[in-house]
Amino acid sequence: MGAKYLKPKSVVELQKNPPSEKNELENEIKKQQFLLEHLHGQVQQMREERLAERTAKEETMWEVQAAITMLKRRLKTLNEKGQRHDGGEGEEGDGKVTGGTADGGTEADIPSPEDEQSTTDFVLLEKQLLAVQTTLRDEIAEEKRLIAQLLSILRELHSKLPEEEQNKMSESQRQKYADENHKNSLNAPKNEDGPFAQNLDKESEEDGKWGEWCKAEEHRRDRLLGELIRYRKICSQLRARLEHDTALIALLQQQKHTDEAPPATANLLVTRF
């Protein structure tokens, strides 16, 4: 009979009774990472469908990420304890005994308050960066939607212009728009976002790697801000073109109405006659 599959533990259960053995920690970390990938996929779908339940799902995702961080810290503590134990086997004859706890473990199994505070700070910073990244992505998606809407209105207005008026746009103006579009495409940041799980898998267990990860997230935040500013600039340019074309169409319609109206003197002569 095959082994029974055990689903990932809840965050509350992990906080109250975390695994104590190395193999249990490794297995639970894998389960929690699979769960995190599944939650991230659900959040992405909810973001595209603009569902209100997305915020609660993101909170769950961040709680799972915090649990993974806690499990990795405990695994790191166990590994360091094993290394110290292997290095101290030759000194057992000195009669020195390390202190123990009520459950039979050693003091090395219990994380220090400094380690717990450091883990909490890193988790809060990570949660903050993820929230900023999510907000920026939403704003960029909204700006893209506005750009598509403005382009549709511009195409409709251009189609209403007479052909001779459409041809009045000088070659220099066309070249100017082409140069701006080319410049924007060159300055556009490349999409270097990998899957969410890829960033999490590359997360190092050492404190030095945490700093590098935070710098990478801050760089991504700056890149998203730059992309948002670029899209807003495009929107402002499209709005200016929209106002220009709208004014031009109104002027042409007014001139057409004036040309079709009969002269006032002719009406006066007919009345007197």
Write the CB contacts of 84 (distance below 8 Å, at least 6 apart in sequence). Answer: 108
Of 193 and 260, the structure prediction assigns the larger pLDDT to 260
Of 102 and 119, the structure prediction assigns the larger pLDDT to 119
Q: What is the pLDDT at residue 112?
A: 61
Beta partners for residue 106, in sequence order: 100
Burial of residue 147 (CB within 10 Å: 0-12, 13-18, 19+) is middle
Residue type, 23: N
User: Which DSSP letter does residue 100 get?
Assistant: B
What's the mean per-residue pLDDT of the chain? 70
Residue 202: its H or E element: none
- The answer to whether residue 28 scores a pLDDT higher than 70 is yes
Q: What is the pLDDT at residue 6?
A: 72
Separation of alpha carbons 5 and 2, rounded Å:
9
Separation of alpha carbons 241 and 225, rounded Å:
25
Worst-scoring range by mean pLDDT, 6-15, 52-61, 91-100, 111-120?
A: 91-100
Q: What is the pLDDT at residue 204?
A: 46
What is the average per-residue pLDDT within 227-255?
79
Backbone angles phi, psi at 43, to 5 degrees: -65, -40
Contact, 36 vs 68, CB < 8 A? yes
| Backbone torsion region of residue 110, taken as left when φ is above 0, otherwise alpha when ψ lies between -120 and 50, otherwise beta | beta
What is the average per-residue pLDDT within 142-151?
82
Worst-scoring range by mean pLDDT, 74-83, 93-102, 120-129, 177-186?
A: 93-102
- The answer to whether residue 106 scores a pLDDT higher than 80 is no
The model's pTM is 0.39
Q: List pLDDT tens digits, range 174-218.
A: 566 666 666 656 655 554 444 444 444 554 455 566 667 677 777
Q: What is the pLDDT at residue 110?
A: 54
Q: What is the pLDDT at residue 195?
A: 45
Question: What proportion of the chain, given as a percentage, has pLDDT over 70?
Answer: 58
Contact, 143 vs 135, CB < 8 A? no
What is the average per-residue pLDDT within 27-37?
86
Backbone angles phi, psi at 185, to 5 degrees: -70, -35
Residue type, 17: N
